[in-house]
Amino acid sequence: MIGLETVVASALATMHLGSPTNANSIAEARSIAPSPRIASRTSPKKAKKAADAEAPKWNISGHLDFYYQYDFGKPGVGADLVGRAFDVRNESFSLASAQVNIVRPPTESEPFGLTLNLVAGRNADLLVAARQPNETAYKLLQQAYGTYDDHKGLTIDFGKFTTWVGFEVLATPDNPNYSLSHLFNFGQPFWHTGIRASKKISDKLAFTGAVVNGWNEVEDTNGAKSLGFGLVYTCDANDTFILNYLGGNEGAGVVNGAGFTALGEWNVQVVDFDYIRTFGKKFKMIFDGTYASATGNSAGTTSGNWYGFEVHAIAELNDRQNLAIRYDTFKDHEGLRFFGVGNSGSLSSLTATWNYAVTPSSQFRVELRRDFSSANSFVSDSGNKSNRTTLTVAQAIRF
């Protein structure tokens, strides 16, 4: 199994926004259109052998992500925008990421495969800067794991892989909007290191279970392991339900991958629910909601919780264009995620993104976003404000 990039990519594929970065059994369970190979008259056994014979030994793909952003609050040229995940730089051309994906898929003759996602650029720095600066040695390896496939519906991955929690993903060209929600940035993990197993139970149901070091860590800082699962149920061609869970001890007396606003250890329990609804071929809606509780395990730690949701509406305008609207809100009780321990607060945003496929491999995006905070969180030339408006132009080239 590979990370959830394909889940988003499959949601965008019907909107003519390009091909997915990866594929996995859970993503297959979410698929809207049946595979032509499955739909053919060829027997499943022969089709599988043909697929293995036709599959290349190595698959190489990737993308270049480049953007320019303007904050109407004028915080200063080159200033970093507080609260954003990757699109942080104001009034500056920025190389967000240059990514190369190297995949050797498992086959019947060789059931072990390999996946490497190599990423350079500002996004790679941002992923470790705030959450795990001690892991800069691994920042170029967004994913690095091996896969065993028994070709009976079971896959086992071992290594570093992106999280199964939430809808949005690290590869921004695979998301409906260019910027990422507050829920993604503060409420959910980014990646894990450990072992996960995925089983396609039926044509409609898929399950994933995992044992990992925790949130955003290659080297575990507290020695505890986190347990998680993902359950995907595809009712029909139009409705998909996803339930995700992750629980364990996170944080330590040093800087850690969980991204808390203070040092210490917490027992964190996260539940995430996604619903994807397709209306014909022209319109799609997506809901993602997350709730997490954090109980302090070490002296001086404050217990708290956070929760939020995001709603996406994606409308295809023609074969080359779509419009993606997103509203998201995030509540940070006791300030463990953003506002600082003891300071509860909330963040929200409304985002509109116009996506234009210049060619099948070139994606041009224009995005207008309005951020809101319960505190004066956003820097401007006239002092800190509780709201912010940005305009972003981005270009992604795939290969």
Question: Mind listing the pLDDT tens digit of every residue in the chain (399 residues)?
Answer: 433 444 445 545 544 443 333 334 333 333 323 223 223 333 445 445 555 555 558 999 999 999 999 999 999 998 899 999 999 999 999 999 999 999 999 998 899 999 999 999 999 988 886 556 667 888 899 999 999 999 999 999 999 999 999 999 999 999 999 999 999 999 999 999 999 999 999 999 999 999 999 899 898 888 899 999 999 999 998 999 999 999 999 988 777 788 888 888 999 999 999 999 999 989 999 999 999 999 988 888 889 999 999 999 999 999 999 999 999 999 999 999 999 988 999 999 999 999 999 999 999 999 999 999 999 999 999 999 999 999 999 999 999
Residue at 255: amino acid letter: V
Q: How many domains, the chain? A: 1
Contact between 298 and 328 (Cβ < 8 Å): no
Residues 154, 245: Cα–Cα separation, whole Å: 20
Residue showing tokens 């990757």: 86
Give one DSSP letter per residue of 132-185, joined into a string.
-GGGGGGTTEEEEEEEEE-SSSEEEEEEEEE-SSSS--SSGGGSSSSS--HIII
Residues 391, 371: Cα–Cα separation, whole Å: 12
Question: Residue 277 is part of a domain; what is its CATH number?
Answer: 2.40.160.10
**Which residue range(s) make up the domain with 73?**
5-398
